[in-house]
Chains A and B, each alone.
Chain A
Amino acid sequence: MLPIAAIGPGTGSIVVVALIVLVVVYFLVSTILALRKITSGLDRVIGNVGEILDKSKPVEEIVTDINGQLDAGVDLLEGLLVKKAGLVDAVGLIDGLYPGAAAAGLRNFPDSTTVDAPRISEVYTKGTLTLARLGREAPIARGNPAGAVLRNIEGGSLAARLLYPEERQGRPPALPRSPVIGTDAPVQYEQRDDIGKPRKRLPSA
């Protein structure tokens, strides 16, 4: 082992420079490896982006074509409806089927937005109409003719049920559950052997 005093400043310099070189080499090699991985990753990304470009290239043309077809269909239906029903009744019909849709109006008829939609095409349940015919208390009579249509397209069955008194809406709190059948049923019954066979004859007296 060399004594410390035997190491001169020149040797120390060489050791330190060698240490620096080692550190630089380590970090540069690590950086080169990282950059190689980045390059290969970017190559894969470029491949995927190319696929995306290829797959999405015809989308604009197809969607434009579909929109054109649908526009033609809308033009046709709007034109036919207005031609056959008239602008006012057409707007009323649309508002009856889709409450609130009259505000948007018809696309090819700008005047339709100013039309006061008549209340036509309202849908009542059969029971409501029966009550109305019988002259009994019916929600139709209680409804305000100037108000919105009674039909609720989002909750049609609930809206129809709410037309009746609360007693009619009540449901049984707990109905008996349906029996479980099959081979895994908790209650198994013995299979009868006489099914499908000739009836047993009683012994003659």
Chain B
Amino acid sequence: MTLWWIADAVLLFLVVPIVVLLLAGILKAARSIMESVDQIERATAAGSKDLDAAALLLTTRDQVRQTVAVVAGYGGSLDVILDDAE
């Protein structure tokens, strides 16, 4: 009978705190992962929004093509107008 009481006491004062400690650690880790996931979500949303301007690269490419074509035209004209150095 006494041993049983001792076993109960061990169960209550040793096993229960250990179980609580371990499970609390798991819960704390899971909650910290939640915060990290929230931060990652905000970062990816901001990154995706920043990349909205990537579509403007098409306009930039077209304008660069036009500019280089105009420069090539001017260069060709200068090549005809001006004498070579040697």
Contact = CB atoms under 8 A, between A and B. Distances in A.
Given A13-B4, A77-B71, A45 B40 contact: yes
Contacts of B85: 82-86, 89
Chain A interface: which size bin?
Answer: 35 or more
Contacts of A159: none
Given A19-B12, A73-B67, A76-B72, A34 B33 contact: yes
A31 B27 CA distance: 5
Given A20-B16, A66-B57, A84 B41 contact: no
Chain B interface: which size bin?
Answer: 35 or more
A41 B37 contact: yes
A35 B30 contact: yes
A5 to B, nearest CB: 12
B16 to A, nearest CB: 6
Given A52-B48, A84-B78, A89-B85, A31 B30 contact: yes
Nearest to B25: A27
A111 interface: no
Interface in A37-58: 37-38, 41-42, 44-45, 48-49, 51-52, 55-56, 58
Contacts of B82: 84
B47 A52 contact: yes
A80 B74 CA distance: 10
Contacts of A80: 75, 78-79
A62 to B, nearest CB: 4
A147 to B, nearest CB: 27
A30 interface: yes
Given A9-B1, A28-B23, A89-B85, A66 B64 contact: yes
Interface of B: 1, 4-5, 7-8, 11-12, 15-16, 19-20, 23-24, 26-27, 30-31, 33-34, 37-38, 40-41, 44-45, 47-48, 51-52, 54-55, 57-58, 60-61, 64-65, 67-68, 71-72, 75, 78-79, 82-86
26 contacts: A12-B4, A13-B4, A16-B8, A16-B12, A23-B20, A23-B23, A30-B27, A31-B23, A34-B33, A38-B30, A45-B44, A48-B41, A48-B48, A52-B44, A52-B48, A55-B51, A62-B61, A63-B57, A66-B61, A69-B65, A72-B68, A73-B72, A76-B75, A83-B85, A86-B85, A89-B85
